[in-house]
Structure 1
């Protein structure tokens, strides 16, 4: 019969003194206190599993008390009785904890971002990551994604909201919800604290892009011609083209010269560069005819003298291999005194309302020139077959109308003077 050890008292571990060699104070059931020559004291438990002698470490005394060591012994015995090796179970718990700690929000967010890259425009990918790096990663990026609470998420979003960036706060909330959902799909279970925050942020009032009205055009055109702000000539031409052809800002500034035939006076934007063409589901594969007026063609030929040696109509001033910054038009409008009064998208809104109200063209003709989505394929085919010639006439009438507003003179092609 094995020798039975009397259980330890609370005083024995406390009063145990070091000796020349390590020694043990047994508590029974395999549990003992190992006292080293340097005075350090460690809880250990010896046990047998599948015929092998094994050892468990329960921590250092007095950080782990006698009562706590006994509870650890009891937990180990339960595992052994259930035919589970306590050592293997402990290693698995440590591995799971390390994996959990390594699955930080930032790590998962960057993985999600990389996974989405093929479906995004370059600007969308850049802006999404930049916003996470500025507003989210400093706050919760290093936290295990399954440990982030609703309170942490609310505090992070309200900090963004507190500087008046209400719309950004809502957008980031939606982005974070998608990241948490992505983690769940990978098997990293979490409560997705961003998905439930429907009412904690202040609502964003729906609004329209700032745009001047037709009556404001003479003053606006005069300001462009005077060029008191000494804007670069390509920037001025870009704004005038925005007014004449009302492409989306990105569609204009990212245009390569290869899309334009100056001899024929044709400009066709391939479908994959259009907003609807970039959709991942049911993209619109319709090339867009810009329909150039005489005035627009004059501007393009003038621009070709300035940037024709570059890939893009509007190359970036610092790196000609890239197009003009997406904020260049907004910056120019701001310098002209039109901040919060006019935007790049405002040129499209101005054209839509003015052409219908002052030139009498049907909504669907203007809408097709704006390259808005068609409700069905039959309608889209009909639009392409019927409206192209009407659109060409409309765009010339629009350019002539702008000239009349600006000068009151007979219709003529007015080229921007070089400054």
Structure 2
């Protein structure tokens, strides 16, 4: 058995290539003629004698060498080769060093570009770059704990951006789960923070939801003193209750006045990238009142691309703030009515007052089908019911307009 003093005094004779000084359990100190000393542990694996390098003396003291030998013996007794295990551990450390959060996040983002919408893809990366990459981007994925991840999320939350913080936690979870799948980490700390952030208070878009207020709104549209195109856009927002972006960016190529139908291409709908590429167009039946409105607009803008072109250039559609600004001028503040509120108004009043099947309304609103099958198997578009519904809705708005 060696002692610390014996290790210190151990040396190799000049006429030998090396000298070995044995300790217990096949541990030995090997001295070289140049004065260097190294620890080794000798063992047998798969019928072959092998040795494991433990370290250089005196950086590795005798007690430390014995502790390393005991750890290696445990690995050996488990049926593994200690030398091979060490190589694997070193490879894992090297891989972890380059598998930083930012690198893995950008790799995941590049894969998802094929299926995410452009808007979501841009938002996902922008929020990461602004809020997570500066704080944890250069950390190996395996070293990021829930506490480490919580710190940048708290920074965002402290700015009053609670919804952003919750979104970032979800985005981080996607990165960690991808890291687990690709063997870059073993845990998803984001899931542990599910209850660590404040709840998101969802506020519905302001909307007129009673027949009396809807009647007042329609009368206000009739008496609007702004541009004729804005007045018609307000009217069609009420009659068609499509997303504001689809109203203001409506193209004449979509409009069939004789067939009383607007066909919005899948690429222009709020859908996933895959659905935009391969989905069906969205059909919007036109009541006579909507056809009349579009005919009036055709006199003004029928020579161009857009039904509601920008005042600055006909190569772009109407500004996305035009309808909301018009509503403010008409006396409806942002707590009463918004451009998006026409959708809620139609859905609520048609269910409550006209007793129309909500599923038919949802189809006309172009809301995605819920449930595990989604749109893959629910192809019912209720075309006849929707055409009748649009006429009934337009007639009902006319009726409300006359009531005071």
Aligned-partner Cα distance in 2 for 1:129–1:169: 14
Match of 2:297 in 1: 299
- Counterpart secondary structure, 2:53: strand
Whether 2:359 is the aligned partner of 1:363: answer no
1:94, distance to aligned residue in structure 2 (A): 0.9
Match of 2:214 in 1: 214
- Counterpart secondary structure, 1:268: strand
Aligned-partner Cα distance in 2 for 1:112–1:298: 49
Kept in 2: contact 1:288–1:371 (CA 8 A): no
Aligned-partner Cα distance in 2 for 1:151–1:223: 59
Kept in 2: contact 1:105–1:145 (CA 8 A): yes
Residue 348 of structure 1 is aligned with which of 332, 343, 347? Answer: 343
Kept in 2: contact 1:260–1:266 (CA 8 A): yes
Match of 1:58 in 2: 55
Change (3 A) 1:88 1:181: closer
* Unmatched 5+ stretches in structure 2: none
Aligned-partner Cα distance in 1 for 2:162–2:397: 37
Match of 1:105 in 2: 101
Aligned-partner Cα distance in 1 for 2:223–2:143: 56
Match of 2:163 in 1: 167
Whether 2:197 is the aligned partner of 1:201: answer yes
1:251, distance to aligned residue in structure 2 (A): 3.6
Alignment of 1:7-406 (within 5 A): 7-9=3-5, 12=8, 27-28=21-22, 29-32=27-30, 43-45=38-40, 56=53, 58=55, 61-62=58-59, 64-76=60-72, 86-212=82-208, 213-214=213-214, 217=217, 221=221, 225-226=225-226, 241-252=236-247, 255-261=250-256, 266-270=261-265, 274-275=269-270, 287-291=282-286, 292-299=290-297, 302-305=300-303, 307-308=304-305, 328=321, 338-339=333-334, 341-353=336-348, 361-364=354-357, 369-372=364-367, 383-392=382-391, 394-395=393-394, 398=397
Aligned-partner Cα distance in 1 for 2:84–2:198: 50
Instruction: Write out per-residue CA displacement over residues 55-74 of structure 1, whole angstroms, 9 at most, x where no aligned residue.
Output: 73625754x44432443355
Change (3 A) 1:298 1:61: farther
Instruction: Write out per-residue CA displacement over residues 25-84 of structure 1, whole angstroms, 9 at most, x where no aligned residue.
Output: 8653442466969xxx6645486877788773625754x444324433554566678786
Kept in 2: contact 1:76–1:86 (CA 8 A): yes
Change (3 A) 1:241 1:59: farther
Aligned-partner Cα distance in 1 for 2:137–2:339: 35
Aligned-partner Cα distance in 2 for 1:136–1:319: 41
Instruction: Write out per-residue CA displacement over residues 352-373 of structure 1, whole angstroms, 9 at most, x where no aligned residue.
Output: 446677xx64433755543456
Aligned-partner Cα distance in 2 for 1:151–1:347: 44
Aligned-partner Cα distance in 1 for 2:80–2:355: 78
Change (3 A) 1:259 1:335: same
Aligned-partner Cα distance in 1 for 2:326–2:33: 78
- Counterpart secondary structure, 1:142: coil
Aligned-partner Cα distance in 1 for 2:343–2:194: 33
Aligned-partner Cα distance in 2 for 1:368–1:210: 22
Kept in 1: contact 2:41–2:69 (CA 8 A): no
Aligned-partner Cα distance in 2 for 1:46–1:125: 54
Quote the RMSD (CA, aligned, Å). 5.2
Kept in 1: contact 2:266–2:279 (CA 8 A): yes
Match of 1:230 in 2: none
Q: State TM-score, norm by structure 1.
A: 0.66
1:388, distance to aligned residue in structure 2 (A): 1.0
Aligned-partner Cα distance in 2 for 1:261–1:77: 82
Aligned-partner Cα distance in 2 for 1:60–1:395: 91
Kept in 1: contact 2:156–2:162 (CA 8 A): yes
Change (3 A) 1:225 1:319: closer
- Counterpart secondary structure, 1:96: helix
Instruction: Write out per-residue CA displacement over residues 335-356 of structure 1, whole angstroms, 9 at most, x where no aligned residue.
Output: 9694555444212123444667
Aligned-partner Cα distance in 1 for 2:328–2:31: 78
